Amino acid sequence: MTRTRIMQAINAEQERTICVKGWVRSARRGKEVSFIALNDGSCFDSLQLVLSPELENYNEISKVGTGACLSVVGKLIESPAAGQKWELQVEEAKILGDADDSYPLQKKRHSFEFLRSIAHLRPRSNSFGAVFRMRSQLSYAVHKFYQERGFMYVQTPIITANDCEGAGEMFRVSTLDADNPPKQNGAVDWNEDFFGERTGLTVSGQLQAELFATAFSDVYTFGPTFRAENSNTSRHAAEFWMIEPEIAFADLADNCQLGEDFLRYMVTYALDNCQEDLNFFNQRIEKGLIDKLEALAKAEFKTITYSEAVELLLKAKQTFEFAVEWGCDLQSEHERYLTEQVFNGPVFVTDYPKNIKAFYMRLNDDNKTVAAMDLLVPRVGEIIGGSQREERLDVLQARMDECGVPQEHLQWYLDIRRWGSCPHAGFGLGFERLLMYVTGMENIRDVIPFPRTPGHAKF
Amino acid sequence: MTRTRIMQAINAEQERTICVKGWVRSARRGKEVSFIALNDGSCFDSLQLVLSPELENYNEISKVGTGACLSVVGKLIESPAAGQKWELQVEEAKILGDADDSYPLQKKRHSFEFLRSIAHLRPRSNSFGAVFRMRSQLSYAVHKFYQERGFMYVQTPIITANDCEGAGEMFRVSTLDADNPPKQNGAVDWNEDFFGERTGLTVSGQLQAELFATAFSDVYTFGPTFRAENSNTSRHAAEFWMIEPEIAFADLADNCQLGEDFLRYMVTYALDNCQEDLNFFNQRIEKGLIDKLEALAKAEFKTITYSEAVELLLKAKQTFEFAVEWGCDLQSEHERYLTEQVFNGPVFVTDYPKNIKAFYMRLNDDNKTVAAMDLLVPRVGEIIGGSQREERLDVLQARMDECGVPQEHLQWYLDIRRWGSCPHAGFGLGFERLLMYVTGMENIRDVIPFPRTPGHAKF
């Protein structure tokens, strides 16, 4: 008999005989009858199995442990119990894989910290079931958003010889014998390495996405990126996924509009497609989550310049840990003050001082600021960072010299400005930041299947 | 005026005034009138611009070089020329970025080898425009296929401490000072490294996908994988994308059925959604490509055991470079003989000798073979490889010992069999192999945006 997913069983329209398979979330043994909550991950809710002593192997099945895997045939009937429409009157049951008392996920609340230590089993818990279902749904939403708008997906390289992306520390990738590497003048001779030069893990697909944008007009990346930063915070992981759209013939305003449309789409998609999981997060993880998301979906996105932002911060009644003056980078406390206290909603901050931004951002006519933009949202702060790119060859070359980026390493990047240059812009959105925002989960380790952080590469 | 994509212009239903932007593919200057083919990557075809000397800056625009970037406003009218429905009578034109004679992509046929050396510009050529549009479309099709069937997408880790996946040589990932690493007893002390142990780049997401399948039932991965093999062939790259579905409650037959459904879906999707690009490949890259794809979309997928395959090969009139006997691995020549000469269509080969397959494949009752399956297709050979996984804890432990895989490194993998084990199966499909099959491109370097191979990590 073909297996029916529990999601389908729970949404059934009429009584019928079905076969379900899944894992025991909890079992309650009675004299007259026993109950088992069976979950197969297809949805948040478990299906209630009702076992009567007439069942051939009642003794065995009713004693089954939490975590055991069952295959069950029975009749789906309307449930007299509150909170569920259907239950399954079991006619046949088989234990596919038993679980004894040592199963670490017994029915009780576990701390997220403990669950991280059993990341191979935590997907079987309510919280992480919901997190990873939403991760999958929202991944698909990313592709839907861009593909339906005619954007081309480009898979930019993971291994890169570029060390000048400027976005952070890189992991080195090598096949040399680490104990006895070939050396020249006392230093490792990278010419002997697999790629004939020193390589690392990408920190961003932007530069390559720019190349594709100047051939296909509208492109996006969605792939893993890396930071070898030894920071143990709840917001940083060594490996995370990033979405980077890049659009030709676009300026900063177009870029902000795309960011607004994208974020609104993602939040609306979650509200429309992940209700059951969102209800759980709303009740157990972040009170008011759904209100927050609904507000964002309808919100007006404001735009202010960096200079205006600095003025607002200088006028603030609040005292900040980090003092503010024109030219400084905005800290998380500043960003949250702007989006939470001043605007109580999403706000783009644009036109940052060139000295605190990357070489590729387009220089404004004031020669002091660049056409950068960050999108700030309440509770998170920066969720999107981007810019119009410098499309003028001579200006870009001057900026590279100013920033100490060697031109000879990036001739291919300059070529795009040498022949058929065009205005273009783009941004990056950290997928995990978005997931934290949408689920209310507060630690990045809890929205990544198997997180990589300093000291942790297990599983 | 809002930009219209050239794809929309070419498929217009009525005359109208539009703005298009793109890159000059070719220009033909006449006395009375000049023509420019403008392409923006949104589709294969270029839009013909018609420039009359009445245009204010006619002299400048009509002399524009191949590769220049233009912004143009004009009237879309029916074209008298053959092979195109519309042309654009230009009313305003502006050069966004010029291109001089040194532009490497002049209008003539370039070798794929030359184009690889300018991988940053080749997306602007006909062939690579078509390749990367199809790569994007088929990436989306992968997600559509699995998501519409209720599979969950899981992003498995790229950096891994597992060195026992057995699928090939691994790249090492490190942040230690390569010139002066910390040492213990003369060897590098990996405990001092970023993750506190020796790590590398994943060769497969399978083991982690299995963990998720035993919580969500039906899952798939789609992400980059790596092989540090120093092989310079047209079929191998150091970095490539793989799709790995993993299904709980499934046996080898279910696995074959999924592989068949998936491949048929992908080929049908290409035929239905990428006609223009496929026409190009059919004419210029592989004669008969479309017939081949249509045949596969309708084909009956056969299944034979490895033992039957060996018998067929022993009976073959053909002589092989590599001799065949029961127990040997099948070579590409054997695979192609079976799929091309014997079956002239797709064929699954199942139940391989355990000694040539990985430790995690389910042992058959004969104790000699495992429940493995490879799908062979004409012209390519193996396109899918998978197996039912060993779900019996004691059998798996014995196989690990036999294969020299240390159990202590994979306790988490064993735990899945310890508590709530279930039959499950899955396979891997190399995305680039599929792209080569569907486009007819013969070198894996030509279906990857920026390929990584020995000695090459440029761009």
pLDDT of residue B166: 56
pLDDT in tens, A270-300: 999 999 999 999 999 999 999 999 999 999 9
Examine the pLDDT at A14 and tell me if it is beyond 70: yes
Calculate mean pLDDT across residues B117-121: 97
Of B184, B146, B106, which is closest to residue B429 (Cα–Cα)? B146
Query: How open is the CA angle A449-A455-A457, to the nearest 5 degrees?
Result: 35
Between residues B333 and A162, which one has the greater pLDDT? B333
Structure tokens of A257? 């509009």
Q: Would you call B420 and A24 a contact, using CB atoms and an 8 Å cutoff?
A: yes
Examine the pLDDT at B440 and tell me if it is beyond 70: yes
Q: Would you call A419 and B100 a contact, using CB atoms and an 8 Å cutoff?
A: yes
- Which of A153-167, A192-206, B260-274 comes out lowest in average pLDDT? A153-167
Examine the pLDDT at A164 and tell me if it is beyond 80: no
Residue B381 vs residues A30, A195, B325, B429: alpha-carbon distances, Å: 58, 28, 19, 12
Calculate mean pLDDT across residues A151-169: 85
pLDDT of residue B165: 55
Examine the pLDDT at A166 and tell me if it is beyond 70: no
ipTM of the complex model: 0.97
Of B136, B152, B454, the CB nearest to A132: B152
In this structure, are residues B239 and B171 in contact, taking their beta carbons and an 8 Å threshold? no
Whether this prediction's pTM lies above 0.90 is answered by yes
Mutation site, A122, A134, A194, A207, interface B, largest B CB count within 10 A: A194
Of A102, A139, A455, the CB nearest to B195: A455
Residues of B in contact with A223 (CB under 8 A): 223-224
Share of chain B above pLDDT 70, in %: 99
pLDDT of residue B164: 59
Of B103, B417, B455, the CB nearest to A196: B455
User: Homologous superfamily of A124-167+203-446 in CATH?
Assistant: Bira Bifunctional Protein; Domain 2 (3.30.930.10)
Q: Would you call A450 and B208 a contact, using CB atoms and an 8 Å cutoff?
A: yes
Calculate mean pLDDT across residues A204-219: 97
Q: Would you call B194 and A228 a contact, using CB atoms and an 8 Å cutoff?
A: yes
Residue A228's pLDDT band (cuts 50, 70, 90): very high
Q: Would you call A212 and B449 a contact, using CB atoms and an 8 Å cutoff?
A: yes
Residue B83's pLDDT band (cuts 50, 70, 90): confident
Examine the pLDDT at A135 and tell me if it is beyond 90: yes
- Which of A59-73, A363-377, B159-173 comes out lowest in average pLDDT? B159-173
B161: closest CA of chain A, how far (Å): 6
Q: Would you call B157 and A455 a contact, using CB atoms and an 8 Å cutoff?
A: no
pLDDT in tens, A416-439: 999 999 999 999 999 999 999 999
- Which of A104-108, A177-181, B109-113 comes out lowest in average pLDDT? A104-108
Share of chain A above pLDDT 70, in %: 99
Residue A165's pLDDT band (cuts 50, 70, 90): low
Between residues B166 and B408, which one has the greater pLDDT? B408
Calculate mean pLDDT across residues A342-367: 97
Residues of A in contact with B120 (CB under 8 A): 211, 412-413, 415-416
Query: How open is the CA angle B230-B234-B235, to the nearest 5 degrees?
Result: 80
d(CA B152, CA A40): 12
Of A102, A169, A449, the CB nearest to B212: A449
pLDDT in tens, A2-11: 999 999 999 9
Calculate mean pLDDT across residues A333-346: 96
Examine the pLDDT at A31 and tell me if it is beyond 90: no
Q: Would you call B152 and A69 a contact, using CB atoms and an 8 Å cutoff?
A: no
pLDDT in tens, B250-281: 999 999 999 999 999 999 999 999 999 999 99
In this structure, are residues A255 and A426 in contact, taking their beta carbons and an 8 Å threshold? yes
pLDDT of residue A380: 86
Q: Would you call A175 and B157 a contact, using CB atoms and an 8 Å cutoff?
A: no
Give the 3-state secondary structure of residue B196. Answer: coil
Q: Would you call A158 and B224 a contact, using CB atoms and an 8 Å cutoff?
A: yes
- Residues found in chain B: 459
Question: Boundaries of CATH 3.30.930.10 in chain B?
Answer: 124-167+203-446
Residue A30's pLDDT band (cuts 50, 70, 90): confident
Of A42, A99, A215, the CB nearest to B129: A215
Residue B292 vs residues B271, B301, B339, B433: alpha-carbon distances, Å: 11, 14, 13, 16
- Which of A147-151, B78-82, B145-149, B258-262 comes out lowest in average pLDDT? B78-82
What CATH topology corresponds to A3-97? OB fold (Dihydrolipoamide Acetyltransferase, E2P) (2.40.50)
Residues of B in contact with A134 (CB under 8 A): none
Calculate mean pLDDT across residues A327-332: 95
Question: Boundaries of CATH 2.40.50.140 in chain A?
Answer: 3-97
pLDDT of residue A439: 98
Q: Would you call A152 and B136 a contact, using CB atoms and an 8 Å cutoff?
A: yes
Residue B109's pLDDT band (cuts 50, 70, 90): confident
Average pLDDT, chain B: 96
Of B360, B379, B378, B357, which is closest to residue B368 (Cα–Cα)? B357
